Chain A
Amino acid sequence: DSGVTQTPKHLITATGQRVTLRCSPRSGDLSVYWYQQSLDQGLQFLIQYYNGEERAKGNILERFSAQQFPDLHSELNLSSLELGDSALYFCASSVTSGIENEQFFGPGTRLTVL
């Protein structure tokens, strides 16, 4: 158990819908990262937040958005869902903002878009 929690564990929805994935970092970690892992694309970095502020942005679609709240939990919002958005979404956390720091991954949310 990494100490990072993600909810829900599984999510099944339809195309065009909007969903919110939630992540709580390890106690004391200020940085949160979101990743998408699909069979055809592998693991891809989406976005990083540090202490409430966006720190780095990767291959995140405009239909996706994220935020980190004052209590440091983070949410990833996915809208106008498409079949290709079906994937495992991981959240990770680390103590500081430097990406070289060890990241601890949550168990992931498996999103299925039908």
Chain B
Amino acid sequence: GQNIDQPTEMTATEGAIVQINCTYQTSGFNGLFWYQQHAGEAPTFLSYNVLDGLEEKGRFSSFLSRSKGYSYLLLKELQMKDSASYLCAVSGGSGGSYIPTFGRGTSLIVHP
């Protein structure tokens, strides 16, 4: 099976930097996704990491360490609109399955 852990809730101040961590235990690994989901809306794709290291995309960056089963999403220059749930999902299981398993999500609250 697969197990994905991420904090339930985080708070941060507008303009600051926040790091959302995700740890996983899987029998196989193909890649790791991060999605953003505003309340009552559909998830939107943020990033997909396959190899170790940091990938930067504007204000958002995602890091992966496959040996440690660890990833983080880094959000810089926080804006109020960044208040949302951030979902970590791992693709991969026994037999090289590409079926994604999602964490429960981290609810980020950005204060003025």
Query: Is B26 an interface position by the 8 A CB rule?
Result: no
Q: B102 to A108, Cβ gap below 8 A?
A: no
Within 8 A of B (CB), among A55-77: 56-58
Task: Indicate if the CB atoms of A98 and B44 lie closer than 8 Å.
Answer: no
Question: Residue A44 contacts which of B30, B48, B102, B105 (CB distance < 8 angstroms)?
Answer: B102
B105-A102 in contact (CB<8A): no
Q: Are A106 and B99 in contact (CB under 8 A)?
A: no
B101 to chain A minimum Cβ distance, whole angstroms, is 7
B50 within 8 A of A: yes
Do B42 and A99 touch (CB < 8 A)?
Answer: no
Cβ 8 A contact of B31, one of A2, A100, A103: A100
> What CA separation (Å) do A28 and B102 show in the bound complex?
26
Q: Which residues of B contact A99 (CB under 8 A)?
A: 30, 91, 98-100
- The reply on A52 being an interface residue by CB < 8 A is no
CA distance A52 to B31 in the complex (A): 25
Contact with B along A4-47 (1 / 0, CB 8 A): 00000000000000000000000000000000000000111100
Min CB distance, B50 to chain A, in Å? 7
Residues of chain B from 90 to 112 with CB closer than 8 A to chain A in the complex = 91, 97-105
B103, A42: Cβ atoms closer than 8 Å = yes
Task: Determine whether the beta carbon of A58 is less than 8 Å from that of B99.
Answer: yes
A104 within 8 A of B: yes
The 8 A CB mask of A83-109 against B (1 = contact, 0 = none) is 000000010000000111011111110
**14 A-B Cβ contacts within 8 A?**
A42-B103, A43-B87, A45-B100, A56-B98, A56-B99, A57-B99, A58-B99, A90-B43, A99-B91, A99-B99, A100-B98, A102-B48, A103-B45, A107-B42
Chain B positions within 8 Å of A, measured between CB atoms, are 30-31, 41-45, 48, 50, 87, 89, 91, 97-105
